[in-house]
Amino acid sequence: MKARVLLLWAAVSVAGCSSDTQASGGAIAGGGQAAATAGSSGAASTAGTSSGSGGAASSAGFSGSGGAAGTATAGGSSVGGAGGAGGAAGGNSLTVGMQADPGTTGDGTFPQPPPYDLPPESKSLLGGALKGTVTGPFLHTQTGDYTGWDKWKFTYYVYVPAQYQAGHAAALMVFNDGYLYVGISSLTDSRFNAPTVIDNLIEEGSMPVTIAVFIFPGTNDGHQVGGGDAGRSTQYDTPNDQYGKFLRDEFLPANILNKYDIVSDADGWAIAGHSSGGIASIIAGWYHPDRWHKVLTASPSFPNKGGKFPAEFLTVPTAKPLRIYHLSGTKDLNGFKAANDKAAEDFAQLGYHYRYRPGEDAHYPPYAAMADFPEAMRWLWRGYKAGQ
């Protein structure tokens, strides 16, 4: 068992929107854990753990709050010296999870004809599933400098399953265009209802205990939902390492990793999104496979920004350690299905674990993606157990 950084925990159920990284927000669904208010001093860490409380994130791992980040090691961990005394923000245990060989069941291209009905897992709790907690909205103000970015503000919500316990590391899943997935009817007509689906899949054993983060694209005021803002395309469609770097080095350490116990291994980190949020997920995994091995997308916008992807996949002769789900339909936007067809061919040629669902749906609302979402999540998380 790896060394842990212990946290002192405080429950949070304050209504309203917090500013920046404060741990306050309205509780939308009952039960669950909340933000840490104090941390402890850190000790030197080994592979699979972080340095003690404090400091900046290393290039492939994270420290807590108070000490210096260590040198990155294999597996996305850091090795650091002793950390200082914990302050307002807690540390993070960064325990390594376990990925069993998922085999090739479900890999490949599987057509998805209509109808595209909402599945029962997204409608209600099934089989005694426990209801997790969604809190927010919270607001994060950009602090780092990224190419083409303009000090944006990011609204986000956090889901914590009822089974989560401090001191037991959970898996992590980031949803881009989070308003599509968080299941709040006032935000969108999309009905992925990810918190309910995750509740059900944890109960049936198809997913590990998983903290989910629903982050909106950054805007000047942080409150815009949906497209129409040039910043969304800059963040999501640009084929470089910037958005993944923002999540890895700034947003997650400031808002999630300092409050919850999260596994350190990239097999336990997933990223998801629709359209531009989908290609952002693929790009983040491509440039940061030290952090994300699991990628779930719907109609990813391969044609945007000159179509560098999927051609980029073939520039690396062997598969990166990524597990990728994607879909597109005959009524998708111009060029989207052809690009997704080509991506599936490339994944097959390179030997990726991939699952592609070509169908007949339009781009939005993403009915086909919503219909297949629970099955997609089962395939994505197959064989993974979070750290203890």
| Domain ranges (residues) in the chain | 98-385
- Assess whether pLDDT exceeds 50 at residue 167: yes
- Assess whether pLDDT exceeds 80 at residue 132: yes
Q: What is the pLDDT of residue 224?
A: 67
Closest alpha carbon to 316 in 293, 342, 338, 346: 346
Q: What is the pLDDT of residue 387?
A: 81
Residue 141: C-alpha distances to residues 198, 254, 271, 285, 383 (Å): 28, 10, 21, 23, 36
Higher pLDDT, 73 or 293: 293
**Chain segment 80-122, per-residue pLDDT in tens:** 222 322 222 334 556 999 999 999 999 999 999 999 999 999 9
**Chain segment 17-75, per-residue pLDDT in tens:** 343 443 333 433 333 333 333 333 333 333 333 333 333 333 333 323 223 333 233 33
Handedness of CA 199, 204, 209, 214 (dihedral sign): negative
**Chain segment 320-343, per-residue pLDDT in tens:** 999 999 999 999 999 999 999 999
**98-385: what CATH class?**
alpha beta
pTM of this structure: 0.79
